[in-house]
Amino acid sequence: MKRIITVILLVAFVPTGRFASAQSFKIGLRYEPGVMFTSQNSRNEIIPVLFCLSINLIVQPNEWLSFIVRPGFLLVDEQYSGFEIGGFVKLMLFDTKYYSIIGLNNHSNKDTGHNTSGSYGKEILYKSIGLGFQADSKFCIDICYYWTSDKEYAYSRIRDGLTYSNIVSKQMNGILKLGIDLSWDIL
């Protein structure tokens, strides 16, 4: 997965004729608060996501299309935190300030653990879809839903008397994020 993302980054940002003729190249910051939808033992949970910060690298070949690479860091709790990198396509809807955004986001969950619970240290690939509003050339806001087929990200040990009898995995059902984006033209 890391090789695929590296190739995408190189193709998107290596100076070529296509890059040089792009309408604009932007760099910016993105803050994404939201909520995680998880489950464990048939019990659903909604967990707040308060810290998700990333850098946006945006190539905009024309007024209605943008390619975005988004490296960043997400910190929720000891069971779900780590670096992220994503690739997204932003399409303006008709002749309005509204847009749709689709993409892939790779989360590198850090490995933690103690006596009763922990997290799996692994890469989790998310698919994403969302809608947003482009207020001006620098500021936009959107709401995106992320989902994955690789749902297990943490575990708990269930006690049976004096021993640990069972390990129960925590499932990621999805993440809903509100993206607040500020970016500037550099080319």
Using the predicted structure, report yes or no on whether residue 17 has a pLDDT greater than 70. no
Q: pLDDT tens digits, residue range 117-136? A: 778 889 999 999 999 999 99
Average pLDDT over the chain, rounded to an integer = 87
Least confident segment among 5-9, 49-53, 110-114 = 5-9
- pLDDT at position 156: 82
Q: In the predicted model, is pLDDT for residue 19 greater than 50?
A: no
State the CATH architecture for 27-185: Beta Barrel (2.40)
Task: Return the domain boundaries, the chain.
Answer: 27-185
Look at residue 1 in the predicted model and tell me its pLDDT: 61
| pTM exceeds cut of 0.75 | yes
8 A C-beta contact, residue 30 and residue 179: yes
- pLDDT value of position 7: 52
The span from the CA of 125 to the CA of 146, in Å, is 10
C-alpha to C-alpha distance for 87 and 68, rounded to whole angstroms: 6
pLDDT single digits (tens) 73-100: 999 887 888 999 999 999 999 989 999 9
DSSP state of 114: -
Considering only residues 65 and 8, tell me which one the structure prediction assigns the higher pLDDT: 65
Residue 20 has a pLDDT of: 46
Query: Higher-confidence residue: 157 or 152?
Result: 152
Query: Does 45 have pLDDT greater than 90?
Result: yes
Residue 12 or 19, more confident: 12
Cα three-residue angle 113-151-70, rounded to 5 degrees? 90
Query: Distance of alpha carbon 138 from its chain centroid, rounded?
Result: 21
